[in-house]
Structure 1
């Protein structure tokens, strides 16, 4: 694979996105019960036909909306509309407002409301509206208002994490992860509508996480906080299903993801600290997380800089590819494109299923694939698609 010719080519990246979408479509469409099937083995076999997760539903809406924007294919638009219908008919809490976290056979199985889930619902609605689905417009306003009413903590300029179904109980846990994805969703909402309130909210989130909160951890991005947004160094998530949303240690992939978001934000509201922090977060993440012996980026690092989890995850590689492309185009620096080529080659060799489409979820330190479940519930290859899409935008000034 000649990466310098191919993976920097917008046409190649577009084809790669559609190769990934076609791993899922049409098998992902649940025509009988609505929504999408959200769990797949390597060969595309559906491995769970009951669970419908708010994050998975929203991510599918997003990726099909991107497909519709890139090529205008009607099947992409119809697939996105199919998901929006399910979002409103089943995930929506018609009594109390907001969206349920998880359903099983169309019945609510986890009724709590999560800022993380609402971030992806907002992202999905924004991209669907951009793709040409008019009804998504009112969802953008609705979700923003729900977030503002129940999750927003104005004294801190951040969103709390979790409430129960009727909004009467607030979980004391606070996390940076939902605020990161809410920053992403707010940027997307601004791009879809041109309404500056979304851009201002994205700015506040980026400033407070990457500058204010990071002062507590010497400039790094820590995951866990108490109700006053003071670092909780000892928090360990015991609910296995929630560990992917509340990971232990420093997560190099999240520093890289923030680097990318700062570059996206800087397009519309440019301040010098954004580029400086983007470069710092990117470089520090690679310094700590890059496996110089076997390639790839470690998943998590402890406070002393030692590796906590040495597995390499698809989403970390995808975010590193996207951040490298945005830094390369913004700063016109060869080193970032060199990283981009190396990271994409690594993903090509170990993560990308060149025969059937899609990315494998993770490999161990020695680049051996872990398990035969390509796409567990919530994955949907959102991260590879969004980062290929943002790279296309950066290369073509879309």
Structure 2
């Protein structure tokens, strides 16, 4: 699939929506460093914490923008990177705080999820030639290796206390999924094949769990990597660790598996494509329009019944990207059909032409809601959904954008 050769649909909309998203996020810089939480109209909410994951995602997104020639994107990427090397970094113990509160206090703990996004941001920024990005990438990879990677399990642990003195017993697949994404990006930025090997090791474990559970992926585990199917049964709307199977993660894994397969090339096994297809099919069967209205439910139980019926923007974004990836890999027109359906759904219900960006959450009737996600803090999923259909499966998004920028 050649660069910018989108599956058959309105390619003009993909390009225009990308530009609209980049424009919406421009006000993210917080006056005290890092990324501010953006409200519905893009106004910074200075009363909310400055999160590492949001700051890193903004660094990643605007690094992509710089590679594509978006005016001012390089400066915005640098502002986000300065937040990662400055206020959000822990100068005493190393690594990154989850967030800095509105009164300037670091939130406690150290999260693998946050650190994977620092690696992603630094990888993209390195490929974009941003000052200090290679040094940030070296630091972030070192922390991820020494603090989170377990050589015996060949998986990433989830969370420590602030001084790295106590590792929590919880293990999570979400952080490992984003670690796969980070490892693929780091391989593009460094050429180090060890990153691909780790991405493959994690993916093998995830696929085994998928097969064992009817392709409804367990998300939560104990320290021995035994699934905890009832975890957070009483916190079903948790934005990062909800109960049950998360439909959007099956779609995200489906796409990442295909990126990994493409990156491995001839060394890829014949099990990757069937796994990607199975995860995609399960997510669509369990999640899409199962309650009488278009849209993906957020989570299901282990029999596939909806649990949280809210529609999250990131799930629709990952559905678009997964359908495009499967179309690129197989040429099967059924994936093109889904791609068109979900692009139309986003245009009708999720995109917000009046205020910009995408509604981050809709209720089951596809009306704006804020049960789980108030405001519009995150450009990452939406921007990637508009770009991924227009680039090859490998190399990764930043590397592909770099090639496109160099060819202009």
Instruction: Report if TM-score (shorter chain) is over 0.5.
Output: yes
Query: What TM-score do you get using the length of structure 2 for normalisation?
Result: 0.89
Secondary structure of residue in 1 paired with 2:105: strand
Secondary structure of residue in 2 paired with 1:203: helix
Distance 1:341 1:314, change over 3 A: same
Q: What does residue 19 of structure 2 align with?
A: 18
The C-alpha deviation readout for 1:197-221, integer Å capped at 9, x for no partner, is 211111111112222x335424431
Question: Where does 1:92-241 land on structure 2 (aligned, <5 Å)?
Answer: 92-105=89-102, 107-211=104-208, 213-236=209-232
Distance 1:280 1:108, change over 3 A: same
Q: What does residue 317 of structure 2 align with?
A: 318
TM-aligned CA deviation for residue 363 of structure 1: 1.1
CA contact 1:360–1:369 (8 Å) conserved in 2 = yes
CA contact 2:238–2:372 (8 Å) conserved in 1 = no
Q: What does residue 360 of structure 1 align with?
A: 359
Secondary structure of residue in 2 paired with 1:132: coil
Larger mean Cα displacement after TM superposition, 47-56 or 213-222: 213-222
Q: What does residue 44 of structure 1 align with?
A: 42
Secondary structure of residue in 2 paired with 1:308: strand
Q: Aligned equivalents of 2:55 and 2:234: distance in 1? A: 25
TM-aligned CA deviation for residue 90 of structure 1: 1.0
CA contact 2:230–2:243 (8 Å) conserved in 1 = no
TM-aligned CA deviation for residue 237 of structure 1: 7.2
The C-alpha deviation readout for 1:48-83, integer Å capped at 9, x for no partner, is 445100111111111111111122x35100000111
Q: What does residue 283 of structure 1 align with?
A: 281
Q: What does residue 80 of structure 1 align with?
A: 77
Larger mean Cα displacement after TM superposition, 112-121 or 348-357: 348-357
2:251 aligned with 1:256, yes or no? yes
Query: What TM-score do you get using the length of structure 1 for normalisation?
Result: 0.91
TM-aligned CA deviation for residue 4 of structure 1: 7.9
Q: Aligned equivalents of 2:212 and 2:232: distance in 1? A: 19
Secondary structure of residue in 1 paired with 2:165: coil
CA contact 1:51–1:103 (8 Å) conserved in 2 = yes
TM-aligned CA deviation for residue 351 of structure 1: 0.4
Distance 1:127 1:396, change over 3 A: closer
Q: Aligned equivalents of 2:389 and 2:13: distance in 1? A: 11
Q: Aligned equivalents of 1:147 and 1:271: distance in 2? A: 26
| Coordinate RMSD, CA, aligned | 2.4
Q: Aligned equivalents of 1:50 and 1:296: distance in 2? A: 29
TM-aligned CA deviation for residue 105 of structure 1: 3.7
The C-alpha deviation readout for 1:222-271, integer Å capped at 9, x for no partner, is 1111110001122117789x921111111111001000000111111132
Q: What does residue 343 of structure 1 align with?
A: 342
CA contact 1:237–1:246 (8 Å) conserved in 2 = no
Equivalent position to 1:266, from 261, 268, 277: 261
TM-aligned CA deviation for residue 305 of structure 1: 1.9
Q: Aligned equivalents of 1:265 and 1:373: distance in 2? A: 31
Distance 1:388 1:198, change over 3 A: same
Q: Aligned equivalents of 1:61 and 1:326: distance in 2? A: 24
Q: Aligned equivalents of 1:168 and 1:359: distance in 2? A: 40
Equivalent position to 2:240, from 227, 245, 248: 245
Alignment length (residue pairs) = 387
Secondary structure of residue in 1 paired with 2:68: helix
Question: Where does 1:359-378 land on structure 2 (aligned, <5 Å)?
Answer: 359-371=358-370, 376=375
Q: Aligned equivalents of 1:374 and 1:193: distance in 2? A: 35
Secondary structure of residue in 1 paired with 2:231: coil
CA contact 2:317–2:381 (8 Å) conserved in 1 = yes
Distance 1:215 1:228, change over 3 A: farther
Distance 1:158 1:5, change over 3 A: closer
Q: What does residue 86 of structure 2 align with?
A: 89
Distance 1:308 1:333, change over 3 A: same
Secondary structure of residue in 1 paired with 2:53: helix
Q: Aligned equivalents of 1:187 and 1:106: distance in 2? A: 36
Larger mean Cα displacement after TM superposition, 97-106 or 311-320: 97-106
